[in-house]
Structure 1
C-alpha cells in the first residue's frame, strides 16, 4: 500500500538574527497510508534527519512503520507521519538560501530547528494528537530540545544514534576529529553534470554506496537540485553541512533536557553496532541513572552511524517496538505529568491542569502554510494577485471567476489538489454553493484551515442624477448581494466543515467604503452595505466558532491599472460645464480615469499589499478593518475628523432632549 504525501511550508518562530519582516521557513511533508487519517486515536510520529540529509530519507522507515502497526490496536497504529527539513537542508535550504547567507554566516543552529519543530508540535494543527518524536544524530538532539520551551507534547521519544553528550565527554573523545569532519565535508563534491552521473557516483563512493537502494533513490530524487543546464547539485551545500558540525551547544543542552523529562516521557535509544561517530564511552553517558538520566530501552542494530540510510527496515522495527510500549490508556501529555514546579518562561506560568497546547510560546507561534482559500473574482486585480501569492507560499486555492479560461496558464503550473479553477457567477446562489461543495470534495481539508478572500466586484462612475437604475441594481447584485451570499456560505463552511473549526473571512471593501466621493455613489453604497453586514455578522458569531472577519479597504494600487470592470456612465448635463473642472464629480472622474489608465501616476505596490493581506491571514487576532495606502489613510483620517466635528455639533443640538 503506497504512502500518501502532502507537502507544506511553515514559517518559523522569529529569531533575533532575522531582519525586519522576514523569518526562516521550514519545509515538511505529512504522510498517511490508506484510511489512517480517519483514526483519531492513532499516533502522529514526527521525524528529524541527521546533518547533511533531508526529510525524504525517512520514507522507507515511515512506510514500514505504517505497515507493521496497521493490524494492531487502534491506539498503537500510526495515524500520520511528519518529516521536517532543517532550515539549511533539503527544500528548506532552497527556501532560505538568501536569508541564511545574509543573516547567519555561521549557519542555522539546531536550536532554531528545535524551536520550529516545538512550535509545530504545540500548534493548533496538532491539538489533541498523540505524538511520538523520532530523531537521528543531530536530529535526535533537535527533537529533545523541541520540548525545551514548554511542557513536553510527546508520548515517547526515539533517539537513533544521538550525538548528545556532556562537554567533558565531547572534548575527551570527539573534539580532535571535528576539524577533519569539517574539512572533509567542505571538500566534498557538490554537483554533477547530470542525474545519471550523480547516480553512478553514489553507487561507487562512500557513504552513499552503503545505503539501502530505496534511501539512495530518494536522495537522488529529493536531495539534489535540478539546474537549468541539466546538471544537479546538493540542496544542502557542503558549506552549509560543514557549518553544522561545530554547532556544539545543542548537543550539550539536549542532555540536560533528557534529565528533566525522562521520568515522565519514555526515551528509547537505538545504537549502531559499528558506529563510526559515537563510541561506547559516549553512548554510556546518555543512560546514566546516577546523573538522573533514565532510558526506557536501548537496542543495537547492524550498521554504522548512518543506520537510517543503511538499515531502514531494522530502524522501523525498533520504532514499532517503542510505539507498542505506549500504553493504550495514555492520552495527551500535560504539564503536570513532568513533575516538579510549574514551568515558567516569558512571563507565562504553565499552571497545573492546562494542556500543553494552551501554553504560550516565548516566540510567536509557528504559522502554518497549509491553508486552503476560496477566491471569488480571481481572474484579475487583487483576486489574481492573491491566488498567485497563496500558491507560491504553499497554500491551496479554489479560484472562482466567470471565465475560467483566463487562468489556464496558472492552472497548468499546479496540480488540482493545489489549484482548483471553477466557473462562478456570484450573483447566482447555486454557483456559490457548488463552489464550496467542490472545495470540500477536492482540496485536502482534513486538519487544515479554509479561508475566504471575498473579492468579486465591479466599479461604476455616475452622478446620482445620472445613474441608470438597472445598472445600479446589477452592481449591487455583484458587489453587495454576491459578497453577502459568499459571506453566509463562508461562515457555515468554517463552522461546520473546517477542521479545526474556524477561519478568516476577508471582505474586500475599498477606501470608498470609508467615505463616498462625488460620482461614486452606487459603488460606495454597495461597499458601505458590505461593511455594515461585516460589522453585524462579526458580532453575531459565537466566539466558540473561532471565525474572524476582516474588512480590507485599499486605495489605488498597481493591480487596478488598465482594469476594464469599471463602468463609466456619461456625465449628467447639469454637472458638465467648463467652470466645474475642479469641482464635484468631474474632479473624481478625472482622477479615477488617470488612476485606472495604463499610464497611471505612482500608486501603491500591489505585491506589498497582497503580502500584507497574506500576513493578516496568519494572525491569531486579525484586525476588523484595515485601510491600505496613503490615499486610503488620508481619506480615513478625513472621515474621522469629519465625524468628530459632527459629534461636537450633535452634542450641542442633542442636549436637553431627554424627558
Structure 2
C-alpha cells in the first residue's frame, strides 16, 4: 500500500463560518467524504491511503475538526445546505461520495440538491431512521452524558491510551484511533492541555437538534447509484442512546431510485473505523462504475 503525502488545508467561508477541508490532490474524478458527529475529516486517512492517486476532499462539518465551532451549532438541514455550498464553491463534478452516520444524512440532502454533480454515493450507517423515530429519538433524552465528555487531555497519546480498551474504540483499527486522537485535539497558544476540537456541548447539541425531516422528501431526487451499508440491529438490552446499533431505516433503499442495501450483522456502527479496508474497497468499486450517459 503506497503512502500519501499529508493533505493541504482549504478554508471556505460558508455563511459566515470557516469550514475546513482536507484535500489530497490526485487525478480523476473526486471523492467527497463526510464524517460522523463528534469526529473529523482526518478519521478518513486510512481509507484515503488505500485509494492512492485520487483527489479527495474530506470536510470538517461545522463545530468539528478545523471548522469553526458556534453555539448553537447549525441544524441538520442548515448543515446540509452549507455542505451543498462547499460543493458549489469547489465546483466538484462527477463526485463519488461517502458519508458515515450524521455525515450520511448530510450527504443525501446535498446530493438531492446537486444530483447532477454526483456519480454515486456510499452511505455508511446513515442517521436516516424510520420517519416516525427521528423526532422521538431527538426529543426523548438527554444527551447530557455526551456534553460531559472529558475535554482536557495532556496529549493525543494519553487520549489514545485511555480509549484503546474502551467500548466502542476497542475494536478500531489502531491507526484510525491514532488519527482520531491526533487530529481531534487542539492546543491553543499558552494552554497547558489539549481540548477536543468538537466541544462536548456542541456535539450534544448536534445530536439533539430537532428537525432533519427534510431528508425524507428529498430521497426520490437522489437518482444516482447508492450503496447503503448497515451495522447490526438493535438488541433488547441496548439503551436508547447506545450508538453501537445501526440507526438506519431498513427500508431506506426502497425509497431511493437506484439503491442497494447490505447489513453487517457482526459489525457495530463504527465499522468504518474498525475496517477501513472494507470502506476503501467499496469506494474503489464505485469509482470503477461507468459514468451515466
For the 8 Å contact 1:271–1:299, the answer to whether it is kept is: yes
Q: How does 1:141-152 map to 2 (within 5 A)?
A: 141-152=105-116
Q: How does 1:171-570 map to 2 (within 5 A)?
A: 174=137, 179-180=141-142, 182-227=143-188, 228-250=190-212, 252-261=213-222, 264-273=223-232, 277=243, 282-288=248-254, 292-301=255-264, 302-324=266-288, 326-327=289-290, 329-330=291-292
Counterparts of 2:176 and 2:151, CA distance in 1:
19
From the superposition, tell whether residues 277 and 258 of structure 1 become closer, same or farther in structure 2 (CA, over 3 Å): farther
For the 8 Å contact 1:160–1:270, the answer to whether it is kept is: yes
From the superposition, tell whether residues 316 and 203 of structure 1 become closer, same or farther in structure 2 (CA, over 3 Å): same
Deviates more, 1:146-155 or 1:210-219: 146-155
Q: 1:51 maps to what in 2?
A: 37
Counterparts of 1:155 and 1:81, CA distance in 2:
15
From the superposition, tell whether residues 214 and 281 of structure 1 become closer, same or farther in structure 2 (CA, over 3 Å): closer
Q: 1:3 maps to what in 2?
A: 4
For the 8 Å contact 2:244–2:270, the answer to whether it is kept is: no
For the 8 Å contact 1:269–1:295, the answer to whether it is kept is: no
Counterparts of 1:151 and 1:313, CA distance in 2:
27
**Equivalent of 1:109 in 75, 85, 88:** 75
Q: Deviations over 1:375-402 (max 9, x none)?
A: xxxxxxxxxxxxxxxxxxxxxxxxxxxx
For the 8 Å contact 2:232–2:267, the answer to whether it is kept is: yes
Q: Deviations over 1:14-40 (max 9, x none)?
A: 3xxxxxxxx0110001113xxx33xxx
From the superposition, tell whether residues 266 and 306 of structure 1 become closer, same or farther in structure 2 (CA, over 3 Å): same
SS in 2 for 1:118: helix
Does the alignment pair 1:89 with 2:64? yes
SS in 2 for 1:249: coil
Larger RCO (CA within 8 A; separation ≥ 6)? 2
Task: Give the drift of 1:296.
Answer: 2.5
Q: 1:139 maps to what in 2?
A: 103
Q: Deviations over 1:473-530 (max 9, x none)?
A: xxxxxxxxxxxxxxxxxxxxxxxxxxxxxxxxxxxxxxxxxxxxxxxxxxxxxxxxxx
Q: Deviations over 1:392-437 (max 9, x none)?
A: xxxxxxxxxxxxxxxxxxxxxxxxxxxxxxxxxxxxxxxxxxxxxx
User: How large is the RMSD of aligned CA atoms in angstroms?
Assistant: 2.5
Task: Give the drift of 1:308.
Answer: 1.5
From the superposition, tell whether residues 279 and 222 of structure 1 become closer, same or farther in structure 2 (CA, over 3 Å): closer
For the 8 Å contact 1:161–1:278, the answer to whether it is kept is: no
Bigger fraction of residues in helix: 1
TM-score (norm 2): 0.85
From the superposition, tell whether residues 315 and 150 of structure 1 become closer, same or farther in structure 2 (CA, over 3 Å): closer
TM-score (norm 1): 0.40
From the superposition, tell whether residues 223 and 156 of structure 1 become closer, same or farther in structure 2 (CA, over 3 Å): same
For the 8 Å contact 1:169–1:282, the answer to whether it is kept is: no
From the superposition, tell whether residues 293 and 232 of structure 1 become closer, same or farther in structure 2 (CA, over 3 Å): same
**Equivalent of 1:30 in 18, 23, 28:** 23
Counterparts of 1:296 and 1:259, CA distance in 2:
11
Mark the runs of 5 or more structure 2 residues left unpaired by the alignment.
235-241
SS in 2 for 1:283: coil
Q: Deviations over 1:246-290 (max 9, x none)?
A: 22422x2222212222xx3111101123676486795323123xx
Task: Give the drift of 1:204.
Answer: 3.2
Mark the runs of 5 or more structure 1 residues left unpaired by the alignment.
15-22, 68-77, 332-659
Counterparts of 1:279 and 1:303, CA distance in 2:
9
